[in-house]
Amino acid sequence: MPASGHSHVRIARPSGDLAAAERLWCGGLGLGVVWRSGPGRRHEEHELLVVGWPAAAWHLELVRSADRPAAPRPTEEDLLVVYLEEDVPEELVARLVEHGGRRVTSPNPYWNRWGVTVEDPDGYRLVLCSRAWRP
């Protein structure tokens, strides 16, 4: 079957600290652990943390390899945007900050007007957007 709008999407990126990433993405945003592996488990040569919401058609894969470390190199435009379709709850932003996130200003005024940007422990940015996604 060719790729389509129903294809599952995996966003993969390196992480310098999987425990810190898990605190933010799971404890802060509320994603669940979909998969976890690491050295000594089966044939794995790297640590892997996959997080997401159960019914979502996407998930986030965070990987760390002690033998071949790939340092995260995010820019201010490396964004994961979640469209909430309502005002961004301050309690959610506070929880993200409590779990290791850092609220930042976006260089793009659109995201400052319509959302809140939080940087994860690796420097990647999550935007909580109050708007709805409408292609």
43: domain CATH number is 3.10.180.10
Domain contains 25: yes
Domain contains 72: no
Domain contains 16: yes
Residue with tokens 């709805």: 132
User: What pLDDT is attached to residue 80?
Assistant: 96
User: What pLDDT is attached to residue 7?
Assistant: 86
In this predicted structure, the answer to whether residue 94 has a pLDDT above a threshold of 80 is yes
User: What pLDDT is attached to residue 1?
Assistant: 60
Domain contains 115: yes
Give the alpha-carbon dihedral of 113, 118, 124, 125, to 10 degrees.
Answer: -20
Domain region containing 23: 9-64
Distance from the first to the final alpha carbon of the chain: 24
Q: How far apart are CA 4 and CA 40, in angstroms?
A: 36
User: What pLDDT is attached to residue 37?
Assistant: 86
Query: For residue 88, what is the DSSP state?
Result: P
CA angle 118, 69, 56 (to 5 degrees): 45
Domain contains 119: yes
Mean pLDDT of 53-74: 86
Domain contains 74: no
Examine the domain organization and report whether 86 and 124 are in the same domain: yes
Query: Per-residue pLDDT tens for 12-59?
Result: 999 999 999 999 999 999 999 999 986 555 446 678 999 999 889 999
Give the alpha-carbon dihedral of 102, 31, 35, 99, to 10 degrees.
Answer: 30
Tokens of 7: 């294809």
Examine the domain organization and report whether 59 and 96 are in the same domain: no
Domain contains 106: yes
Beta strand 58-64 with 9-14 is: parallel
Region of poorest pLDDT, from 2-11, 61-70, 124-133: 61-70
How many domains would you assign to the chain?
Answer: 2
In this predicted structure, the answer to whether residue 111 has a pLDDT above a threshold of 60 is yes
